Amino acid sequence: MSEKDLRINEQIRVREVRLIRDEGEQQGIMSTLEALELAKGQGLDLVEVAPTAVPPVVKILDYGKFKFENEKKVRDSKKKQKLLKLKEIRMQPKIDEHDLDFKSKHVKEFLAEGNKVKVTVRFRGRELAHTELGLDVLKDVLARIEGEYVMDKPPAMEGRFMSMVLSPKSKGAAKAGA
């Protein structure tokens, strides 16, 4: 439940509540007005933590501090999430050896950074009649990056493009293999 859904102090509109003190000890069932008086007496807020319970569970605590702690938890969990980016490398079936080395090096770097890579070969004009050349280029790229990847999508034609999607090997699999 998010803080936006929590009701505090006078927003709690039920007759009876189950009160939990700020130290965590249960006070029992009492009227909402009594619980509110106890909270005000301590200079704290009455926060509804379980509105669906019968009677609803409320807790005496500092709402500002409570809200800050929850926001901090959300921020920390967002920091731990790694956003996976999809990088794309484009080439043509008539690619030169040096260019292929250069592009393969970039694919390796992107995978090392933890990004997914879409390797695309673009066919123009009559090149479309020789899609096997594009497949050879993609196989050549795979040979140059030597097992530092997991193939998410094998080479396939999409209109005038042939592409495959690679993702980095997971850290656990890399350690197990070493």
Boundary (domain end) residue, out of 39, 60, 79: 79
Structural domain containing residue 71: 3-79
Say if residue 65 is in the same domain as residue 119. no
pLDDT tens-digit profile of 51-107?
Answer: 888 888 888 888 888 888 888 988 888 877 777 788 899 999 998 999 999 999 999
- Residue by residue, DSSP assigns 26-58 as EEEEEEHHHHHHHHHHTT-EEEEEETTSSSPEE
pLDDT at 118: 93
CB contact at 8 A, 38 and 19 = yes
Q: How confident is the model at residue 49 (pLDDT cuts 50, 70, 90)?
A: confident
Say if residue 90 is in the same domain as residue 24. no
Say if residue 167 is in the same domain as residue 104. yes
Does position 178 have pLDDT exceeding 70, yes or no? Answer: no
Model-level pTM?
0.52
Say if residue 51 is in the same domain as residue 127. no
pLDDT at 173: 45
Say if residue 31 is in the same domain as residue 108. no
Nearest to 100 by CA among 143, 132, 149: 143
The count of structural domains within the chain is 2
pLDDT tens-digit profile of 133-175?
Answer: 989 999 898 888 887 788 888 999 989 999 999 988 876 444 4
pLDDT at 162: 92
Boundary (domain end) residue, out of 62, 79, 96: 79
Say if residue 165 is in the same domain as residue 94. yes
Residue 3's alpha-carbon distances to 11, 120, 162, 170, in angstroms, are 13, 46, 49, 36
pLDDT at 2: 54
Asked, as a colleague might, if the bond just before 154 is cis with ω within 30 of 0, I would say no
CB contact at 8 A, 59 and 53 = no
